[in-house]
Amino acid sequence: MNIVGARVDERLVHGQVANLWTPKLQVERIIVLDDVAAKDDVQKSGLRMATPMTTRLSVLSIDVAADHLKKGRYGKQRLFLVAKKPQTFLDLINLGIPIDTINVGNMSKQDDTIELTKQVNITKQDADIFKKISDKNTDLIVQVNPSVDARNLLKLIDDNVK
């Protein structure tokens, strides 16, 4: 597996992912991990339009993604995994796909969220999921784009979630 990046971003493929992260990480394939989008041709079409022309796109359910990654389906391609929620990455890790680092990008403010940064707002349940991910030897960072410094997500959680 040649996973060069993993990102929680509720917008999936958009300007930051397509125009900043993809070239920075020299991504050859973006894999969107989303059970709903994997079954929705309209969503897949929109994601394809947002993906750079030089980059391949796969929109997969968690189970299919884990299967393809385990079987080495993508060869030596540089892979960038994107999901809307942290639970998706915990599920993927629990299916046997190791992920070194997850970058938490955009999680919008809701009535039940706690603001960690302007872009990252989490629920207490999200905080618990992130801690479980960390327990699986995965580093968690917050980095909106490559031009800003990465921050430790667990420290932000410890400082803000009571």
Interval 7-49: pLDDT, tens: 999 999 988 889 899 999 999 999 999 999 999 999 999 999 9
Distances in Å between the Cα of 124 and the Cα atoms of 69, 79, 102, 115, 159 are: 30, 30, 18, 11, 13
Averaged confidence pLDDT in the chain: 95
Q: What is the CATH classification number for the domain harbouring 134? A: 3.40.35.10
How do the pLDDT tens digits run along the chain, 162 residues long?
Answer: 799 999 999 999 988 889 899 999 999 999 999 999 999 999 999 999 999 999 999 999 999 999 999 999 999 999 999 999 999 999 999 999 999 999 999 999 999 999 999 999 999 999 999 999 999 999 999 999 999 999 999 999 999 987
Give residue 162's pLDDT.
74
- The kind and range of the H/E element at 151 are strand 151-152
Type of residue at 108: S
Q: Are 9 and 16 in contact (CB under 8 A)?
A: yes
pTM of the predicted protein model: 0.95
Give the chain's domain count: 1
Residue 78 contacts residue 26 (beta carbons within 8 Å): yes
118-144 CB burial, b ≥16 within 10 A, e <16: ebbbbeeebbebbbebeeeebebbbbb
pLDDT number for residue 16: 85
- Tell me which residue range forms the domain holding 53: 3-160
